[in-house]
Amino acid sequence: MECSKCGAKAVHQTTGQAYCKDHFFDYFETKVFRTIKRYKLISKEDRVCVATSGGKDSLAVLYMTMLYCKKYDIDFFALAIDEGIKNYRDHTLEDLQIFCDTYEIPMTVLSFKTRFGSALDDVQEKAIKEYNKKPCTVCGILRRSLLNKGARELGATKLVTGHNLDDEAQSFFMNILKGSMAHNASLGPMTGLSKDSDFVPRVKPLYFISEQETRLFAFLKGFKVNFNECPNIGLSFRASVRDQLNILESKTPGIKHGLVNSFLQVLPELKEKYKNERDSFQYCERCGEPCSGTICNVCKLEEELCLEVKH
Amino acid sequence: MEVYIEKTQSTVLYEKACTAQELLEHLNIIPSTVLIVKNGEVILPDEALSETDEVKLLSVVSGG
């Protein structure tokens, strides 16, 4: 197949268009920059923190954020979380360090071990056996909390994540299947918006980029990305939804875009409907962090898993 | 041809000329979940593969 723009050999095909390597880069950059501008994800006054792990999504979003911030002279840095998952995170963090050294990007690493007193590997057995909590649940709560705290401590006004089209389609679909429509009100290109300055707003420049496009971009750019699937992913509900959506996508191309576009059409109504729930946060009685109940999820985990959280 | 499958970190031999699409169907792999790399270059599923090609199927799935 030939590139629709220049006739060279195509490396990527979308609905009605094919792209060679150079035109794929143009397509990718245009789509990401357009998303940033259309949804006002980053402004010139921001100090931008890019949440990154060294995987393909976060390297791609870190690279694109770097291009955007350099173009508009915006302050930015990378923040990585070391959850303590042996033979997984240690490898991706090595790749990330090489990447940041190459592009001279300031980078900070915060670890579960240092900030919560235990690595994920140390507590997951107890979480599963005694509390029926999957590793992804524990990891998600602690990682989200540490990213927000870390970004805040480092003076960030925006937290960039590598969430892509597949991630968003999966989240929307998962919430529907679980009957948790209120959670869908918290999705979108920019989330975590609140009047409380303790929340650093999260933004997703890869919102309209598929997982396959992200990997292609990383491959063609020559980023060192080892395929290294998290050993806990098979246990998650997300993995099941991801597989089912991929099967549907293969039979009916475009369904992921369809899901996300449908979601964006109803998002304003969802935000309005669940406005009170989203705005009525409290502060944790134990640690003072903003949360939806009286005790935040991190403090609940601290008690259950005998963590030693550094507040 | 020698086909490396990144997700399972395994190599299989396929001794028939075919298109990449046909290879994926044979291996029961969904096209949107992989990048197809033939002799070091990314190709689209409609491209022909010969018995001497070296093929890699790179996983596009997120780490976790």
String of DSSP letters for A80-126: EEE---TTTHHHHHHHHHHHHHHHT--EEEEEHHHHHSS-HHHHHHH
Nearest of A218, A215, A212 to residue A250 by alpha carbon: A212
User: What angle separates helix A237-251 from helix A165-178, to the nearest 10 degrees?
Assistant: 110
Nearest of A48, A92, A57, A70 to residue A226 by alpha carbon: A92
Rounded to a whole number of angstroms, the distance from the CA of A88 to the nearest CA of chain B is 9
B46 touches chain A (CB under 8 A): yes
Asked whether the beta carbons of residue A219 and residue B44 sit closer than 8 angstroms, the reply is: no
B30: which chain A residues are within 8 Å (Cβ-Cβ)?
Answer: 246-247, 249-250
Closest-CA residue of chain A to B42: A11
Closest-CA residue of chain A to B61: A211
Chain B contact probe: residue of A58, A136, A211, A252 with most B CBs at under 10 A: A211
Helix boundaries (H) for A107-227: 112-116, 120-131, 135-153, 165-178, 181-184, 211-221
- pLDDT the model gives residue A250: 87
Q: Please state which of the ranges A141-155, B35-49, B50-64 shows the lowest mean pLDDT.
A: B50-64
Q: Are A24 and A220 in contact (CB under 8 A)?
A: yes
Closest-CA residue of chain A to B44: A11
Q: Which residues have CB under 8 Å from A275's CB, separation 6+? A: none
Rounded to a whole number of angstroms, the distance from the CA of B1 to the nearest CA of chain A is 21
Side-chain half-sphere CA neighbours of B39 within 13 A: 8
- pLDDT the model gives residue A10: 96
Q: How far apart are CA B48 and CA B20, in angstroms?
A: 6
- pLDDT the model gives residue A194: 62
B27 touches chain A (CB under 8 A): no
Name the residue among A1, A57, A249 with its Cβ closest to that of B32.
Answer: A249
Q: How far apart are CA B37 and CA B44, in angstroms?
A: 9
Rounded to a whole number of angstroms, the distance from the CA of B40 to the nearest CA of chain A is 10
- pLDDT the model gives residue A279: 67
B63: which chain A residues are within 8 Å (Cβ-Cβ)?
Answer: 53, 55, 88, 92, 228-230, 233
Q: Which residues have CB under 8 Å from A40's CB, separation 6+? A: A190
Q: Are A310 and A149 in contact (CB under 8 A)?
A: no
Rounded to a whole number of angstroms, the distance from the CA of B4 to the nearest CA of chain A is 13
Asked whether the beta carbons of residue B60 and residue A13 sit closer than 8 angstroms, the reply is: no
Q: Which residues have CB under 8 Å from B42's CB, separation 6+? A: A11, A12, A21, A216, A219, A220, B35, B36
What element of type H or E holds A202? strand A202-203
Closest-CA residue of chain B to A253: B32
Instruction: Take residue A93 and report the two structure tokens written for it.
Output: 């963090």
Asked whether the beta carbons of residue A211 and residue B37 sit closer than 8 angstroms, the reply is: no
Asked whether the beta carbons of residue B43 and residue A166 sit closer than 8 angstroms, the reply is: no
Q: Rounded to 5 degrees, what angle do the CA atoms A85, A295, A297 make? A: 20
Mean pLDDT, residues B35-39 taken together: 97
pLDDT tens digits for chain A (311 residues)?
999 999 999 999 987 899 999 999 999 999 999 999 999 999 999 999 999 988 888 899 999 999 999 999 999 999 999 998 887 787 788 889 999 999 999 999 999 999 999 888 888 888 888 888 888 888 889 999 999 999 999 999 999 999 999 999 999 999 999 999 999 998 999 987 666 678 899 999 999 999 999 999 999 999 887 666 666 666 678 888 998 999 999 889 899 999 999 999 999 999 999 887 766 678 889 888 878 788 988 999 888 888 888 87
| Amino acid identity at B15 | E
Q: How far apart are CA A310 and CA A288, in angstroms?
A: 12
- pLDDT the model gives residue A123: 84
Rounded to a whole number of angstroms, the distance from the CA of A9 to the nearest CA of chain B is 9
B10 touches chain A (CB under 8 A): no
B35: which chain A residues are within 8 Å (Cβ-Cβ)?
Answer: 212, 215-216, 219
Compute, in degrees rounded to 10, the torsion defined by CA atoms A178, A182, A188, A193: -140
Rounded to a whole number of angstroms, the distance from the CA of A89 to the nearest CA of chain B is 10
Whether residue B64 has pLDDT greater than 60: no
